[in-house]
């Protein structure tokens, strides 16, 4: 697996990482690259069956000479006690936690008008509170005394996130949390950064959005300056950099991995309408109306 990474083999030998949401999509790609670089990885999510299948697939690719291993552990990151149990189990098995990658999260497409309070709370609870629980417990149990590196996976929400306002609000909160923790935990030698992916295609993401998935990804392509979508392996390399000694002086940063998508168009189309109040009366409005007046076809 290391051959697929731009980083040198053995870079993370004898290190231990926890990757939430590590059995699918971006989290799986991160876990695979870490394993290929010699890191032992604990993958976690609510679906143990899926985790075990992913772990079995990953084990088959680990070279016999590598010190790396992968362990699937079920955890609902919304639940503080389950997060404590996860961290305790990792320390009992490996005796250390060098890296934490907060990739676990979820959302669904819905305009705010039709969003239920239950749906809003579920996304906020997973994406914000889940990240908070994991950061706090890993810090208290290990990193406060031993240092480490944390990477939070957020999203391209810089122009708002119409159609998924719950995850936009949640990811913006985690972006700010990243900056706060980078300062609060600097004296413990803990670096905290974030990666903000653009539109990333994976088979899992396609399935998660069900019938909407194919159209959603297809319609995204024109809005990416690269004129193609990203894949999870393009996120994992950025995460590995931020965890590596090459980023030893980087903390509190958010790396946008989106081919410039956040600088470009929005997917949300606003139809022509006349719902806004008119501009104040005066010569400027009169000139504006004259400018915009349709020309006669005669």
DSSP string computed for 7-54: SPTTTTTT-EEEEETTTSHHHHHHHHHHHHTT-EEEEEES-HHHHHHH
* pLDDT value of residue 72: 98
* pLDDT value of residue 93: 98
Q: What is the mean pLDDT of residues 250-273?
A: 94
CATH number of 2-272: 3.40.50.720
Residue 2 has pLDDT above 80, yes or no: no
- pLDDT above 70 coverage of the chain, percent: 98
DSSP 252: S
* pLDDT value of residue 209: 74
Q: Which residue has the higher pLDDT, 67 or 213?
A: 67
Q: Where are the alpha helices (DSSP H) in the chain?
A: 25-36, 48-59, 80-94, 117-124, 130-138, 144-146, 165-184, 203-208, 213-220, 233-243, 283-292
* pLDDT value of residue 266: 85
Radius of gyration over every alpha carbon of the chain, rounded to an integer in angstroms: 22
Q: What is the mean pLDDT of residues 272-279?
A: 92
- 10 Å Cβ neighbour count for 56? 11
- pLDDT above 90 coverage of the chain, percent: 83
pLDDT tens by residue, 202-255: 888 888 777 777 888 898 999 999 999 999 999 999 999 999 999 999 999 999
Of the candidates 180, 134, 173, the residue with the CA atom closest to the CA atom of residue 18: 134
- 10 Å Cβ neighbour count for 163? 16
* pLDDT value of residue 296: 63
Is residue 94 helix, strand or coil? helix
Of the candidates 94, 108, 157, 101, the residue with the CA atom closest to the CA atom of residue 131: 101
pLDDT, the chain, mean: 94
* pLDDT value of residue 298: 57
* pLDDT value of residue 222: 92
Cβ–Cβ under 8 Å, residues 85 and 76 = no
Range name among 106-110, 174-178, 285-289, 294-298 with the lowest pLDDT average: 294-298
Is residue 203 helix, strand or coil? helix
Q: What are phi and psi of 167, to 5 degrees?
A: -75, -30
pTM tops 0.75:
yes
pLDDT tens by residue, 154-203: 999 999 999 999 999 999 999 999 999 999 999 999 999 999 999 999 88
pLDDT tens by residue, 18-53: 999 999 999 999 999 999 999 999 999 999 999 999
């Amino acid at each position: 697996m290391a051959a697929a990474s731009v980083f040198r083999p053995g870079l993370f030998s004898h290190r231990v990482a926890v990757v939430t949401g590590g059995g699918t999509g971006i989290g799986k790609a991160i876990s695979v690259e870490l394993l290929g670089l010699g890191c032992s990885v604990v993958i976690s999510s609510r679906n143990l069956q899926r985790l075990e299948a992913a772990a079995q697939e990953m084990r088959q690719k680990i070279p016999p000479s590598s010190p790396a291993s992968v362990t699937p552990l079920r955890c609902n990151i919304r639940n503080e006690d389950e997060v404590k149990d996860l961290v305790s189990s990792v320390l009992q098995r490996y005796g250390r936690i060098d890296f934490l990658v907060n990739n676990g999260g979820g959302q669904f497409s819905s305009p705010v008008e039709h969003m239920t309070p239950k749906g809003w709370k579920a996304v906020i609870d997973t994406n914000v509170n889940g990240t908070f629980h994991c950061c706090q417990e890993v810090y208290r149990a290990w990193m406060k005394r031993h240092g480490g590196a944390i990477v939070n996976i957020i999203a391209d929400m810089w122009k708002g996130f119409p159609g998924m306002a719950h995850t936009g609000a949640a990811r913006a909160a985690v972006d700010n949390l990243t900056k706060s923790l980078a300062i609060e935990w600097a004296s413990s030698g803990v670096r905290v950064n974030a990666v903000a992916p653009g539109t990333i295609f994976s088979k899992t993401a396609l399935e998660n959005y069900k019938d909407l998935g194919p159209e959603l990804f297809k319609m995204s392509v024109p809005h990416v300056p690269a004129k193609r979508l990203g894949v999870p392996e393009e996120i994992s390399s950025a995460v590995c950099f931020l965890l590596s000694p090459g980023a030893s002086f980087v903390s509190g940063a958010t790396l946008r991995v989106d081919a410039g998508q956040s600088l470009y168009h929005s997917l949300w189309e606003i139809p022509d309408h006349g719902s806004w109040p008119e501009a104040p009366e005066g010569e400027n409005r009169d000139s504006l109306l004259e400018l915009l007046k349709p020309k006669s076809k005669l």
